[in-house]
């Protein structure tokens, strides 16, 4: 698949958790030490960016937008360090007060207070609002700021979190300053990986400021990617990195796993092809497809290795190690009936992926009648998730979904006792009694018809190959491989491809 052999899971923390970890150090009188460590990390990243863009540091110009709190203090200390390295540093104070010691250090180093942002600025540090604010942000009216933010050559670097991003949910209630890179301190905050915050943060650099043993065991984890570098301490009880199931030379087609797919209808025949083809190229030993006759005939010609069936024989399920249900089944009564049998077969024993049209057929009675477990995975996008919430009697979670998607997914997974994967630019996977995993995807081309069908095939195949793996791990790996396929096909994130082309990038690098 071209993905790394071992993909790390990096801890995500709430703003409250970071503040609580800082508390004993602050009580011991180490406030200035923590700030200077944070400032040093921020200054080093700015220096790296300047070298990358300009080729040199001396003579560069850096402007800081400085708030009145500790976040502004971090920015002022960083600007002072940059000034000592030969950088011309300016600070625009957002209020008539600033962190006293930080301001004194900045001025003593030769920094200048200004009330405009020079259009020749090489880097802009956003140190206006820290993690303690969760109210809507209004873009300050500073001469030159708009021009600098619109200049792609200017590096915008957020101090801890971009101004305007909710540190807990990633929501943006008002304006936001989009960053090329966010330098965050102590640990990565959830708001940098979720919702609009994921886009506003840009690349993420996490800096160790010495919180160490004071950090709690997180409940949320971020799938590592090339846009993230963390130097924070290892979290206790961290999950093992994600890795693809190993296939032995002694394996045969049945021991490598059999995935039974229920997909397609006369109205949507292509969905079956996308799901089955993605599964075949994802490492499973055999794929069986249950679909209407017209769909089976078409696929038998295009993908002769897929075993097609009408589903009348129970033997198809008996030899399966996992099922994938839903893409394109529409209102086909035979496919819906087959869905019921397959989910009943899965129960608490076998992996089962439920997607697309199948999600619309889930209701409150369905979960009351079936004895399901975390091995059953729902893979909705936001609109489908709202329908599932309403149909299963949890409509009050719709409001939660609008303001805090990760929390809503976690609550629904717990109530239904299944694993839930919310698809989107920041994919959220929650399992009852298990961790929540977030994957930031910088692949706009995946927002296309049929992309979800491909994901269903990938996850289903991985589940069939290793049916004993926790479903949240299998789902997280599938999402990563799905995104890697898109990046391989579209490295510059132009988004100009369809799901059919995506299939060509699923599988080992050729």
Mean of all residue pLDDT scores within the chain: 92
Find out whether 419 is annotated in a ligand binding site.
no
Can you tell me whether residue 205 is helix, strand or coil?
A: strand
- Between CA 415 and CA 360, with CA 471 as vertex, the angle to 5 degrees is 55
425 marked among binding-site residues: yes
* pLDDT higher than threshold 60 for residue 200: yes
Q: Consult the annotation and say whether 70 binds a ligand.
A: yes
- Percent of the chain scored above 90 by pLDDT? 80
271 is in an annotated binding site: yes
Average pLDDT over residues 241-251: 83
Annotated binding-site residue? 71: yes
User: How does residue 269 score in pLDDT terms, banded at 50, 70 and 90?
Assistant: very high
The distance from CA 247 to its chain's CA centroid, rounded to whole angstroms, is: 28
What is the phi/psi pair of residue 331, to 5°?
-110, 20
Question: Is 309 labelled a binding residue?
Answer: no
Burial category of 442 from C-beta neighbours within 10 Å (exposed 0-12, middle 13-18, buried 19 and up)? middle
Q: Which of 232-241, 341-350, 369-378, 395-404 is least confident?
A: 232-241
Domain 258-505 classification at class level: alpha beta
136 is in an annotated binding site: no
Q: What is the pTM of this model?
A: 0.94
Q: Is 426 annotated as a binding residue?
A: yes
Paired tokens of 475: 């789902």
Say if residue 208's pLDDT is above 80.
yes
Q: Using one digit for the tens of pLDDT, what is the confidence trace for 467-510?
A: 999 999 999 999 999 999 999 999 988 988 999 999 989 876 43
In the predicted model, is pLDDT for residue 133 greater than 70?
no
Q: What is the pLDDT of residue 464?
A: 97
Instruction: Report the Cα 296 to chain-centroid distance in Å.
Output: 35
Query: Residue 318 pLDDT > 90, yes or no?
Result: no
Residue 163, annotated as binding a ligand? yes
251 annotated binding-site participant: no
For the chain, give every domain's residue range. Answer: 9-230, 258-505
Is it true that 9-230 and 258-505 share their CATH fold? no
Whether the per-residue pLDDT at 46 is higher than 60: the answer is yes
Is there a binding annotation on residue 130? no
For residue 245, CA distances in Å to 89, 257, 461, 468 come to 51, 11, 10, 11
Q: Is 250 exposed, middle or buried (0-12, 13-18, 19+ CB in 10 A)?
A: exposed
Question: Is 189 one of the annotated binding-site residues?
Answer: no
Of 3.40.50.2300, 2.40.30.10, 3.50.50.60, 3.40.50.10260, which CATH number belongs to 9-230? 3.40.50.10260
Q: Which pLDDT band holds residue 156 (cuts at 50, 70, 90)?
A: very high
The pLDDT tens digits of the residues spanning 391-449 come to: 999 999 999 999 999 999 999 999 999 999 999 989 999 999 899 999 998 888 999 99
């Amino acid at each position: 698949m071209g993905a790394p052999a071992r993909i790390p899971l990096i801890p995500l923390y709430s703003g409250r958790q970071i503040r609580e970890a800082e508390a004993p150090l602050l009580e011991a009188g180490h406030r200035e030490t923590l700030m200077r460590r944070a400032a040093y990390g921020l200054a080093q990243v700015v220096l790296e960016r300047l070298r990358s863009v300009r080729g040199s540091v001396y003579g560069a110009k850096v402007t800081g937008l400085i708030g009145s709190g500790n976040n502004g203090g971090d920015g002022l200390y960083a600007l002072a360090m940059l000034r000592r390295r030969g950088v011309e540093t300016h600070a625009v104070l957002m209020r008539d007060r600033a962190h006293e010691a930080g301001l004194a250090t900045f001025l003593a180093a030769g920094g200048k207070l200004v009330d405009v942002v020079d259009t020749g600025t090489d880097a802009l540090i956003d140190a206006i609002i820290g993690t303690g604010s969760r109210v809507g942000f209004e873009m300050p009216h500073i001469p030159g700021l708009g021009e600098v933010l619109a200049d792609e050559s200017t590096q915008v670097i957020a101090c801890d979190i971009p101004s305007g991003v909710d540190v807990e949910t990633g929501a943006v209630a008002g304006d936001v300053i989009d960053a090329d890179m966010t330098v965050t301190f102590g640990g990565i905050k959830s708001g940098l990986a979720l919702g609009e915050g994921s886009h506003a943060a840009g690349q993420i650099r996490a800096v160790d400021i010495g919180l160490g043993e004071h950090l709690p065991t997180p409940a949320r984890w971020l799938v590592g990617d090339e846009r993230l570098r963390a130097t924070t301490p290892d979290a206790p009880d961290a999950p093992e990195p994600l890795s693809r199931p190993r296939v032995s030379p002694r394996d045969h087609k049945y021991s490598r796993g059999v995935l039974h797919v229920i997909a397609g209808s006369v109205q949507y025949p292509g969905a079956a092809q996308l799901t089955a083809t993605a599964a075949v190229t994802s490492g499973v030993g055999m794929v069986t497809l249950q679909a209407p006759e017209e769909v089976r005939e078409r696929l038998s010609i295009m993908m002769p290795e897929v075993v097609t069936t009408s589903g009348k024989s129970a033997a198809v399920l008996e030899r399966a190690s996992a099922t994938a249900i839903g893409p394109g089944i529409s209102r086909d009564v035979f496919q819906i009936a087959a869905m019921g049998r397959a989910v009943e077969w899965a129960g608490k024993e076998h992996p089962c992926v439920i997607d697309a049209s199948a999600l619309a057929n889930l209701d409150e009675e369905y979960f009351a009648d079936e004895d399901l477990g975390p091995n059953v995975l729902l893979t909705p996008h936001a609109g489908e998730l709202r329908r599932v919430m309403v149909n299963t009697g949890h409509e009050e979670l719709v409001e939660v979904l609008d303001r805090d998607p990760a929390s809503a997914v976690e609550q629904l997974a717990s109530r239904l006792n299944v694993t839930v994967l919310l698809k989107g630019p920041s994919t959220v996977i929650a399992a009852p009694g298990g961790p929540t995993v977030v994957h930031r995807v910088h692949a706009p081309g995946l927002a296309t018809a049929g992309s979800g069908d491909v994901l269903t095939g990938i996850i289903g195949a991985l589940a069939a190959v290793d049916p004993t793996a926790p479903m949240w791990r299998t789902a997280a790996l599938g999402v990563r491989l799905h995104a890697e396929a898109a990046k391989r096909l579209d490295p510059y994130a132009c988004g100009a491809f369809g799901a059919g082309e995506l299939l060509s990038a699923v599988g080992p690098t050729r």
